């Protein structure tokens, strides 16, 4: 196909060829081509088949307003070929095709449309009920656009940015560029978003005169240069706005070019004020076979020639309702297109200058005529035109029909920002009635048609946005408003929706194959509101997000129902306004997790890591996930455990004790010097939320720990529960400042004694004691004698930067005893054997302090502060029907351990297994469960049901706890 | 104890060419191939304190008045002091001899609690906007100023140190545990701008400009 290479409006570089394959054949396009333009240049007219009827579909809008040109590009389905720039080596395939787009074996579906009236799947294939599952499978086989392999992996680089602006302008046409320039004049930071790869909007490709012999495209480029030369304006081209949220949060996605470091990137903009200047699209003309390949909108035909150098056809008919159609016909005629006839919906009101030019060029103009039918087996070869009343008709042979009912504003950005849209009788547009605060609309979308008025409107909106940001713009704004008032206002628009046809194959929604007949069927069934009809017929629910049927649907419904004031509204649309890759939303997707200071050492030691909450932690130190060796080494020798994730806090000040008394159930005034105090926190319902230890390090100065899970919430929790008291205390979160090593096992003292001069004998440093000393005279440690794993243990808290050194020192000192690491799973088994709890593992949202047997921690004599949960602790102490924590052993000694979370049943669910493991220490399976109080008695048999166990059950018996070292001798040795 | 070393939470893959041992910790002064920025510098060894008191205005860390308004910072005598809220400030020692420990219960040393890095160079804000929606280049705010919010979804304290065209810089801290993830995220965000690790010398030069 010959192309124009000399037009000044072109956006292609014919010297730079690009090669791609389509259906296995190699084709060439040029730099700047979209995939669709390149296919069109190579004579491809059928791009895909439609969703339901498998009708051939071709180029229509050039802006991806419908699924006609959704194709599979480089294995990614549903790529909008009209918006996707061609790259060397691309592989393009048609989709929704069985065979080829020209010969689709599913093409017979078009003849079955009689069997698929609106909502047919609600009415058919349901009786008898057994048919539906079969029908469902068949429907699913043919439904959907595009196919994605289950193992598909998205390639490319997907990025994200979160820029801030004073003013965000959506739409880089003449109004948008003027708005951006006006705002930037006031020293504001402006972001300008444009969906096409260049600025200019509907000026950009037109050769018509702007002013003083300057063509519109030149004006567009002049404005674009001004924008580029303004440092405060940041322009994002090839960037589609997709969402608007509270406080002017605007989201968009940008397609990267050859020089960009990304393929697509998500953009999230915080702006003080927003200007929407998204212009108009064409409202599709409804007539029989209105989507046949060869039929396209005015701008599509015009831009094919002016932007891509492609004459859209050889012989054309126009059926239009706007002067842009006349202008395009003249321009394309001058470029060599044969035009049989221009039918204008309007009986009058055309631009007389354009009419005169057409007369001179002998282009026939039929006023008050419209296309009623398009003919041709697969592509267009003939058009029937008729009078608006359908009284007379004419037929014209042609391969191109340029069809459009008129203009309609792009209201998506306003709609997602929750602006109210009302029909305006003069323009025939849905116009914004109430714009959100600090949002302004400008330009063609308000019905303006005059180039200068569009620009003045943009400038005015830009100044209003500047005023929103606090700029003093009164004088400029008055001048801009005066300019606008002296220019032509909104023009009368075409309201025609459908030609005088029955509508059997008049498509109101191309994406979903919804015809005018379907809409009428829905209305006859009582769906009289566009929003309901949309759901019943699926019109405007396709990938075009209502671009094609968006405004035609409510207008058609209003006209059909003879609604005199067109009270109907456009149906609801939601972000993303244009189809976006999920990968783009995912963006860089940094996996942010916390690592302990010992991360590298533990990895080196063979640690098997798991993500637990925000932390990455070593769960095992071998591939034996029962951790037998790790456990036995702690029980018989000595082990090292990284407990750095524990929450650690300093609280101090005159009222620090009061704050502790408020949140802990115990009496914190009784913390002895050199001792630790174990206690718990409850919520107002007496449910246990955390446990930990508190140490008094000085006058009104305490150090306390929380569980790992509660570390992030502890400060807020204490501040919240003291918010009305005006107490004077301070807190610092030291969770990351201090690492923790748990040195545990009967040889722990021997190891520690080798690295410190401090007296750590059992007398000098007994169980539940706290000391501070130095390791090797250098490393400061805060040491607690605790016994979470049920053995002689020292918990060493030390500055995180010293943690690796301390670990290596202890490893070195313990080597003669065979010291080794143990991980989270080993710790879990060890503490379970001892029946030491992990809050959250053996408790849930409704579990009270009493339920887990920790009621003894509650000091009910505290009087100076009201303890959080104290009232409920009284109420729940003797409450019936609660789940109680019990220990259990399996009834048969050779039975395996039930899975964590398995439910305990009789005729009802009576509880669940919190944890159960095969204890190598005890040589039997033991576990902890929360069970109905009636089952909590020692010796009670528990019936355990596991997922998918069928009729099989496991049986256990409630046992005395703790299972290991019930006299706690080993902790105190 | 010669072999007892403190370690920074930040590890760069770059090879150091100049190092110095301070307070049991090896500080990298320069990496191989630093060339031009933008730079990411590990300052985690710089001493930092949290200061809290109900009468915060009465406290003058090393003789420097804490800014009265939350969000304001002051850089004086090598100390950067950031007012966080009514009762709390952070003090970061950026330059000069190691100061004596303050003898006041209002101070808690938090050096080991956080990782501390500087992001400097013309492209600083372009890199930062890939990681956060916080606005570090607000024209009507005079550097240095403090923002508290997320970078790569992780809560941080961030100080805009300079915002003058070529001379742009951010300092920020986040929980030490996030160091490895955070450094990865920053370097990935800065890849297209040529972001590279730099030693303390580069930061000191930046600070004196």
Cβ of A737 within 8 Å of Cβ of B176? The answer is yes
CA A792 remoteness from chain centre: 50
Q: Could you tell me the CA-to-CA distances from A889 to A462, A627, A931 in Å, in that order?
A: 75, 20, 14
Residue B141 CB contacts under 8 Å (≥ 6 apart), including other chains? B160
Phi, psi of A468 (to 5 degrees): -60, -30
pLDDT of residue A1: 66
From B130's Cα to the closest Cα of chain A, the distance in A is 4
A390-439 pLDDT per residue, tens: 999 999 999 999 999 999 999 999 999 999 999 998 999 999 998 999 99
Q: Does the predicted interface ipTM exceed a cut of 0.95?
A: yes
Reduced 3-state DSSP string for A710-721: CCCCHHHHHHHC
Phi, psi of A402 (to 5 degrees): -95, 115
Which of A161, A599, A736 lies closest to B114 in CB terms? A736
Cβ-based burial of A564 (10 A; exposed 0-12, middle 13-18, buried ≥19)? exposed
A190: β partners: A167, A233
pLDDT of residue A864: 67
> What per-residue string of b and e applies to A959-970 under the rule 16 or more CB within 10 Å gives b?
bebbbbbeeeeb
Residue A49 CB contacts under 8 Å (≥ 6 apart), including other chains? A55, A56, A57, A94, A96, A97, A101, A104, A106, A107
* Helix-then-strand count for chain A, H and E: 23, 51
| Interface probe with B: pick from A729, A801, A803, most Cβ of B within 10 Å | A801
DSSP-derived pairing of the beta strands B39-42 and B196-198: parallel
From A83's Cα to the closest Cα of chain B, the distance in A is 25
How many whole angstroms separate alpha carbon A237 and alpha carbon A254?
Answer: 7
Helix locations, A244-351, DSSP H: 298-306, 323-334
Which of B177, B181, B185 lies closest to A736 in CB terms? B177
Cβ of B112 within 8 Å of Cβ of A736? The answer is yes
Which of B110, B111, B175 lies closest to A594 in CB terms? B175
Which of B113, B130, B184 lies closest to A160 in CB terms? B130
Element (H, E) at A692: strand A688-698
B contacts of A803 (beta carbons < 8 Å): 7
Q: CA angle B41-B43-B44, nearest 5°?
A: 130
Which residue, A390, A382, A385, A388, is CA-closest to A364? Answer: A385
Cβ of B188 within 8 Å of Cβ of A590? The answer is yes
pLDDT confidence of B1, banded at 50, 70, 90? Answer: very low
Which of B50, B131, B152 lies closest to A732 in CB terms? B50
| 3 state SS of A210 | strand
Which residue, B135, B118, B4, is CA-closest to A164? Answer: B135
pLDDT of residue A212: 87
Which residue, A66, A50, A64, is CA-closest to A541? Answer: A66
B129-183 pLDDT per residue, tens: 999 999 998 888 999 999 999 999 999 999 999 998 889 999 999 999 999 999 9
> What per-residue string of b and e applies to A491-504 under the rule 16 or more CB within 10 Å gives b?
bebbbbbbbebebe
Which of B9, B54, B178 lies closest to A728 in CB terms? B54
A705-719 pLDDT per residue, tens: 999 999 999 999 999
B contacts of A187 (beta carbons < 8 Å): 139
- The pLDDT mean for chain B works out to 95
How many whole angstroms separate alpha carbon A567 and alpha carbon A554?
Answer: 9
pTM, whole model, 2 decimals?
0.92
Cβ of A595 within 8 Å of Cβ of B192? The answer is no
- The span from the first CA to the last CA of chain A, in angstroms, equals 93
Instruction: Give the number of domains in chain B.
Output: 1
pLDDT of residue A964: 97
A contacts of B189 (beta carbons < 8 Å): 588
From A821's Cα to the closest Cα of chain B, the distance in A is 20
How many whole angstroms separate alpha carbon B47 and alpha carbon B95?
Answer: 10
| Interface probe with B: pick from A161, A165, A188, A612, most Cβ of B within 10 Å | A161
pLDDT-flagged residues of chain A (< 70) = 1, 546, 564-567, 864
Phi, psi of A834 (to 5 degrees): -90, -5
pLDDT of residue A168: 98
A contacts of B88 (beta carbons < 8 Å): 730
Cβ of B113 within 8 Å of Cβ of A734? The answer is yes
Residue B133 CB contacts under 8 Å (≥ 6 apart), including other chains? A162, A164, A268, A270
Instruction: Count Cβ–Cβ pairs < 8 Å, chain A vs chain B.
Output: 124
B contacts of A592 (beta carbons < 8 Å): 152-154, 178, 181-182, 185
The answer to whether the peptide bond before residue A337 is cis (omega within 30 degrees of 0) is no
DSSP-derived pairing of the beta strands B73-76 and B48-52: unpaired
Which of A592, A799, A801 lies closest to B154 in CB terms? A592
Q: From start to end of A453-498, where are the E strands?
A: none
DSSP-derived pairing of the beta strands A315-320 and A338-344: parallel
Cβ of A162 within 8 Å of Cβ of B179? The answer is no
How many whole angstroms separate alpha carbon A531 and alpha carbon A537?
Answer: 10
> What per-residue string of b and e applies to B57-81 under the rule 16 or more CB within 10 Å gives b?
eebebeebebbeeeebbbbeeebbb
Cβ-based burial of A798 (10 A; exposed 0-12, middle 13-18, buried ≥19)? buried
Cβ of B192 within 8 Å of Cβ of A593? The answer is no
A contacts of B108 (beta carbons < 8 Å): 650, 732, 734
Cβ of A730 within 8 Å of Cβ of B24? The answer is no
A394: β partners: A385
Which residue, A804, A802, A601, is CA-closest to B23? Answer: A802
How many whole angstroms separate alpha carbon A185 and alpha carbon A171?
Answer: 18
How many whole angstroms separate alpha carbon B14 and alpha carbon A592?
Answer: 22
B contacts of A591 (beta carbons < 8 Å): 181
Which of A614, A738, A779 lies closest to B4 in CB terms? A779
How many whole angstroms separate alpha carbon A602 and alpha carbon A621?
Answer: 8
B contacts of A614 (beta carbons < 8 Å): 177
From A465's Cα to the closest Cα of chain B, the distance in A is 18
Cβ of B177 within 8 Å of Cβ of A701? The answer is no
- Region of A187 on the Ramachandran plot (φ > 0 left; ψ -120 to 50 alpha; else beta): left
Q: Are B186 and B126 in contact (CB under 8 A)?
A: no
Q: Are A875 and A680 in contact (CB under 8 A)?
A: no
Is it the case that residue B83 has pLDDT exceeding 80? yes
Cβ of A778 within 8 Å of Cβ of B1? The answer is yes
Cβ of A595 within 8 Å of Cβ of B105? The answer is no
From B44's Cα to the closest Cα of chain A, the distance in A is 10
> Does B6 contact chain A (CB < 8 Å)?
yes
A192: β partners: A169, A235
Cβ-based burial of A896 (10 A; exposed 0-12, middle 13-18, buried ≥19)? exposed
Q: From start to end of A536-621, where are the E strands?
A: 594-595, 608-612, 615-620
How many whole angstroms separate alpha carbon A445 and alpha carbon A171?
Answer: 11
How many whole angstroms separate alpha carbon A56 and alpha carbon A102?
Answer: 8
Sign of CA dihedral A920, A923, A928, A929: positive
Which of B25, B106, B177 lies closest to A595 in CB terms? B177
Give the residue numbers spanning the domain of B27: 1-209
Q: How many CA atoms lie within 13 A of A537 on its CB side?
A: 34
Cβ count near A702 (within 10 Å): 23
CA A548 remoteness from chain centre: 25
How many whole angstroms separate alpha carbon A873 and alpha carbon A856?
Answer: 11
B contacts of A232 (beta carbons < 8 Å): none
| 3 state SS of B164 | strand
From A711's Cα to the closest Cα of chain B, the distance in A is 12
pLDDT of residue A13: 95
Q: How many CA atoms lie within 13 A of A493 on its CB side?
A: 28
- Domain of B148, CATH number, reads 3.30.1360.120
Which of B105, B178, B185 lies closest to A594 in CB terms? B178
| 3 state SS of B105 | coil
- Region of A775 on the Ramachandran plot (φ > 0 left; ψ -120 to 50 alpha; else beta): beta
> Does B185 contact chain A (CB < 8 Å)?
yes
Cβ of B181 within 8 Å of Cβ of A595? The answer is yes
> Does B87 contact chain A (CB < 8 Å)?
yes
Cβ of B106 within 8 Å of Cβ of A596? The answer is no
Cβ count near A470 (within 10 Å): 12
A contacts of B150 (beta carbons < 8 Å): none
> What per-residue string of b and e applies to A597-614 under the rule 16 or more CB within 10 Å gives b?
bbbebbeebebbbeeeeb
Sign of CA dihedral A630, A636, A642, A648: positive
Residue A347 CB contacts under 8 Å (≥ 6 apart), including other chains? A367, A368, A388
């Amino acid at each position: 196909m010959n192309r124009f290479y000399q037009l000044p409006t072109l956006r292609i570089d014919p010297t730079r060829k690009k090669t791609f394959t389509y259906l296995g054949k190699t084709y060439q396009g040029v730099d700047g081509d979209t995939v669709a333009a390149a296919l069109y240049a190579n004579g491809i007219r059928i791009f895909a088949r439609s969703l339901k009827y498998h009708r051939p579909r071709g180029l229509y809008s050039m802006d991806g307003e419908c699924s006609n040109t959704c194709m599979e590009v480089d294995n990614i389905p549903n790529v909008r070929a009209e918006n996707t720039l061609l790259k060397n080596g691309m592989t393009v395939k048609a989709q929704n095709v069985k065979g080829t787009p020209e010969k689709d074996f599913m093409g017979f579906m078009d003849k079955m449309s009689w069997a698929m009236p609106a909502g047919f799947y609600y009415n058919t294939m349901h009786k008898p009920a057994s048919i539906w599952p079969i029908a469902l499978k068949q429907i699913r086989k043919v439904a959907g656009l595009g196919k994605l392999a289950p193992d598909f992996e998205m390639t490319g680089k997907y990025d994200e940015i979160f820029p801030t602006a004073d003013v965000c302008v959506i739409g880089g046409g003449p109004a948008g560029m003027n708005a951006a320039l006006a705002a930037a004049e006031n020293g504001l930071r402006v972001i300008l978003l444009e969906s096409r790869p260049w600025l200019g909007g509907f000026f950009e490709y037109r050769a018509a005169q702007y002013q003083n012999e300057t063509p519109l495209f030149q004006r567009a480029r002049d404005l674009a240069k001004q924008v580029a030369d303004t440092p405060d304006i940041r322009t994002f081209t090839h960037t589609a706005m997709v969402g608007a949220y509270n406080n002017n949060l605007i989201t968009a996605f940008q397609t990267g070019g050859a020089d960009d470091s990304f393929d697509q990137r998500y953009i999230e903009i915080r702006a003080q004020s927003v200007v929407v200047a998204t212009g108009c699209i064409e409202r599709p003309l409804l007539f029989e076979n209105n989507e046949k390949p060869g039929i396209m909108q005015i701008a599509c035909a015009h831009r094919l020639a002016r932007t891509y150098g492609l004459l859209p056809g050889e012989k054309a008919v126009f059926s239009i309702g706007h002067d842009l159609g006349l202008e395009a016909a003249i321009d394309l005629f001058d470029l060599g297109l044969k035009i049989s006839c221009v039918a204008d919906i309007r009986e009058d009101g055309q631009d007389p200058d354009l009419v005169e030019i057409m007369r001179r060029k002998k282009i026939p103009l039929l006023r008050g005529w419209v296309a009623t039918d398009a003919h041709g087996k697969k592509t267009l070869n003939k058009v029937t035109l008729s009078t608006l009343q359908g009284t007379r008709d004419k037929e014209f042979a042609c391969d191109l029909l340029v069809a459009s009912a008129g203009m309609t504003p792009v209201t998506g950005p306003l709609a997602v920002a929750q602006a109210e849209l009302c029909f305006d009788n003069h323009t025939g547009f849905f116009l914004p009635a109430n714009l959100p605060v600090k949002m302004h609309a400008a330009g063609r979308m308000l019905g303006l048609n005059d180039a200068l008025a569009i620009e003045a409107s943009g400038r005015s909106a830009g100044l209003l946005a500047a005023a929103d940001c606090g700029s003093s713009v009164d004088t400029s704004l008055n001048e801009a408003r005066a300019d606008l008032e002296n220019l032509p206002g909104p023009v009368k628009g075409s309201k025609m929706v459908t030609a005088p046809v029955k509508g059997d194959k008049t498509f109101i929604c191309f994406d979903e194959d919804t015809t005018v007949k379907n809409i009428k069927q829905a209305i006859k069934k009582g769906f009289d509101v566009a929003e309901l009809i949309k759901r019943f017929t699926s019109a405007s629910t396709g990938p075009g997000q209502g671009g094609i049927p968006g405004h035609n649907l409510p207008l058609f419904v209003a006209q059909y129902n003879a609604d005199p004031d067109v009270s109907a509204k456009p149906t609801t649309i939601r972000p993303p306004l244009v189809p976006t890759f999920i990968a783009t939303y995912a963006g860089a997707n940094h996996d942010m997790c916390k690592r302990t200071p010992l991360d590298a050492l533990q990895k080196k030691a063979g640690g098997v890591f798991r993500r637990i909450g925000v932390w990455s932690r070593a769960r095992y130190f071998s591939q034996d996930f029962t951790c037998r060796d790790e456990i036995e080494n702690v029980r018989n020798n000595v082990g090292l455990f990284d407990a750095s994730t524990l929450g650690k806090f300093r609280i101090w000040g005159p009222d620090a004790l009061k704050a502790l008394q408020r949140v802990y159930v115990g009496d914190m005034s009784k913390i002895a010097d050199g001792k630790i105090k174990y206690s718990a926190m409850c919520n107002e319902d007496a449910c246990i939320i955390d446990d930990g230890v508190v140490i008094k390090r000085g006058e009104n100065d305490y150090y306390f720990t929380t569980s790992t899970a509660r570390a992030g919430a502890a400060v807020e929790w204490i501040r919240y529960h003291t918010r009305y008291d005006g107490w004077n205390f301070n807190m610092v979160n030291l969770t990351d400042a201090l690492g923790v090593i748990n040195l545990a096992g009967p040889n722990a003292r021997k190891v520690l004694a080798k690295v410190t001069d401090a007296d750590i004998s059992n007398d000098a440093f007994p169980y539940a004691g706290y000391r501070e000393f130095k390791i090797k005279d250098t490393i400061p440690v805060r040491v607690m004698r605790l016994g979470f794993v049920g053995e002689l243990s020292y918990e060493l808290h030390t500055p995180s930067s010293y943690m690796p050194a301390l670990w290596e020192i202890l490893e070195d000192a313990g080597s003669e005893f065979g010291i080794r690491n143990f991980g989270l799973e080993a710790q879990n088994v060890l503490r379970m054997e001892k029946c030491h709890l992990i809050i959250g593992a053996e408790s849930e949202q409704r579990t009270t302090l009493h339920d887990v047997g920790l009621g003894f921690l509650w000091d009910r004599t505290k009087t100076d502060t009201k303890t959080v949960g104290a009232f409920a602790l009284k109420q729940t102490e003797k409450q019936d029907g609660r789940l109680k924590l019990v220990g259990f052993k399996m009834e048969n000694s050779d039975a395996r351990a039930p899975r964590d979370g398995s439910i305990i049943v009789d005729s009802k669910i009576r509880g669940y297994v919190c944890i159960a493991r095969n204890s190598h220490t005890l040589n039997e399976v033991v576990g902890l469960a929360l069970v109905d109080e009636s089952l909590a008695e020692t010796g009670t048999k528990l019936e355990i049901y596991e997922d998918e166990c069928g009729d099989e059950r496991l049986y256990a018996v409630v046992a005395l706890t703790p299972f290991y070292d019930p006299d706690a001798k080993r902790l105190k040795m | 104890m010669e072999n007892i070393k403190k370690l920074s939470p930040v590890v760069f893959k770059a090879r150091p060419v100049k190092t110095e041992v301070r307070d049991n910790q090896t500080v990298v002064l320069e990496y191989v191939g630093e060339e031009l920025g933008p730079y990411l510098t590990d300052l985690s060894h710089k001493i930092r304190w949290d200061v809290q008191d109900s009468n915060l205005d009465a406290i003058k860390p090393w003789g420097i008045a804490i800014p009265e308004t939350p969000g304001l910072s002051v850089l004086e005598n090598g100390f950067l002091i950031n007012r966080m809220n009514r009762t709390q400030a952070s003090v970061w020692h950026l330059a000069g001899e190691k100061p004596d420990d303050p003898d006041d219960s209002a101070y808690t040393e938090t050096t080991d609690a956080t990782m501390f890095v500087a992001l400097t160079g013309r492209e600083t804000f372009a890199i930062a906007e890939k990681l956060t929606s916080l606005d570090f280049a607000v024209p009507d705010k005079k550097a240095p100023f403090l923002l508290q919010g997320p970078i790569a979804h992780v809560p941080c304290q961030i100080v805009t140190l300079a915002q003058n065209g070529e001379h742009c810089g951010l300092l920020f801290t986040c929980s030490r545990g996030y160091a490895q993830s955070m450094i990865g995220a920053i370097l990935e965000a800065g890849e297209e701008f040529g972001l590279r690790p730099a030693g303390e010398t580069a930061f000191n030069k930046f600070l004196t400009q």
